Every structure is written in C-alpha cells, then in structure tokens.
Amino acid sequence: MKAVVIVFSPSGHTLTAARMIRKSIEARGGTADIIDLTKDDTLLFASDKRENLAAKVGAFDVLFVGAPVYAGHAEHTVLRTIAMLPSPDEKRSKIAVPFISYGGAHSFVALEEMGRALKRKNYVPVLGIKLASFHTLSRSFRTKISEDRPGDAERRVIEDAASKVVDLCSDRESIRDGSASFAYTKMPMRFILKILSQEKIHAKFKTVSIVYEKCRACKRCIEVCPVNNFVFADGIVSVKNRKNCIL
C-alpha cells in the first residue's frame, strides 16, 4: 500500500503531522512519500508546476493533503495545489484524506474547503483530520496555546486514521465520501465564528515590502520565507512578486 502526503508547512507543524502519517502507514506495512511544497519553487510558482506535481505525485493508493489554517481557512497555496492535481485514474486511487493543523482560534471551514477542493478533482475524501498545534495569538500574549503539539494526542488520532485508511485500501467496496463530518463546528458556534471572522484582521496585513533604510541585507528573509519570495542580487534584497506573498 502506497501513500502520498502533500503538505505545506511554513512553521513546521503540518510537516510534523505529515511525518507522523508516514510513520503510521509504514508501521502498517505500507510506504509513504512526503511532497513538501514549502520553499519548493518547482511546485509553487514554476510555469510547469502542474506537470512537476503530476511527476512527483506518481502512483498511490491513498492521498493525504495537509494545510495550516490561516484566517480560519485552509491555506490557499494548498487549495491551489489540489486544483492542479491529476485526477484519479488506474494509477492513482480516489481515496483522499485532508488534514489541517490549526492554532486554536478559528478553523471551522478549513477542513470543509479541503474536502470540497478534493471532490472537485474527483477524489473521495473518506475522512478528515484536524490537529491542534502550537500557537501564540500575537506577540502581546504570553500565553502559549497547545504547546508541544502536534504530539502524542495527535499521533493517536493519526494512527487511528491510518488504520482506517489501510483497511479501506483492501476493501475498496466500502469507500464512502466522509466529508459531511468535516463540518465539525455546529450552530450557533459557526455563526459566532463567522461574526468574529479573522479575515477582517488578516485583511489589515499588507503584502511584503522592504524598508531599505533598515535592511542590513542579512538574508534572513530569504532563509525563512516559505514561498521563496525574496532574491538577493548585487548586494540588494528584493521581493520577487508581491502577489505570491502569503502574509
């Protein structure tokens, strides 16, 4: 049984979960390839990114796709990547499992969005996984939320999911769309979260720009930017494309 795990993970939590998935699949006798979109120009912005993705994805029995939650939504780089995926065929099974890692504030539509995006490509999202991860609300808060996560609790959830998926792969007759369960936030909380939407807060952020009077050309921005949006040439750092900024 072969799994492919596609993940985007600017600060590493979703990648930790992806590695847990790989380990769980391997513990059940399967294999799993992780395709990490983070900092991978060939998959993020290259003109032939669709072809590159198809080549990397190859054949599989189950597809896992993982995204962090940003402003309550599945991070758009991942949604865009799902839209570029080759659809299921004789080499690629239709069994898909979206997973999201979230900090703890809003995340009520993220898993649903992932499920819908996968269905648009004819995949069947059999189950979805929502994983707590470390988060601080902002620098003004000293309180840390879900410190040490994803950890043991998340590992147990992933192992449970891996068992179910491995069983499904050997009993394809029982493959069912499980996305109705992705709406894990019910009314009235759903309504309250909508009102308190983080989108308004996020809309205040501007796409990246460089304050040249302060820039010391230390190149740290190049090191940390998850979408490689900085270049260094002739002693000057510049932004490649402001539209590529994920804030």
Ligand X SMILES: Cc1cc2nc3c(=O)[nH]c(=O)nc-3n(C[C@H](O)[C@H](O)[C@H](O)COP(=O)(O)O)c2cc1C
Nearer to ligand X, 205 or 212 (CB): 205
User: In the bound complex, what is the minimum distance in angstroms from residue 148's beta carbon to ligand X?
Assistant: 13
Residues between 165 and 204 that touch ligand X (CB under 6 A): 198
CA distances from 217 to 209, 230, 234, 244 (A): 14, 11, 11, 21
Measure the CA angle with vertex 62, ends 169 and 97; round to 5°. 110
CA 163/CA 55 separation, integer angstroms: 27
The answer to the question of residue 130 lying near ligand X (CB under 6 A) is no
Stretch that binds ligand X, among 46-54, 65-73, 118-126, 154-162 (CB under 6 A): 65-73
Stretch that binds ligand X, among 3-11, 29-37, 212-220, 237-245 (CB under 6 A): 3-11
CA distances from 176 to 28, 96, 126, 213 (A): 22, 11, 6, 57
CA distances from 151 to 75, 100, 143 (A): 22, 14, 19
Encoded tokens for 186: 């019910």
Among 13, 92, 94, 130, binds ligand X (CB under 6 A): 13
Among 14, 24, 77, 229, binds ligand X (CB under 6 A): 14
Encoded tokens for 89: 């065929």
Residues between 88 and 127 that touch ligand X (CB under 6 A): 101-107
Binding footprint of ligand X on the chain (CB under 6 A): 9-15, 68-72, 101-107, 133, 135, 198, 247
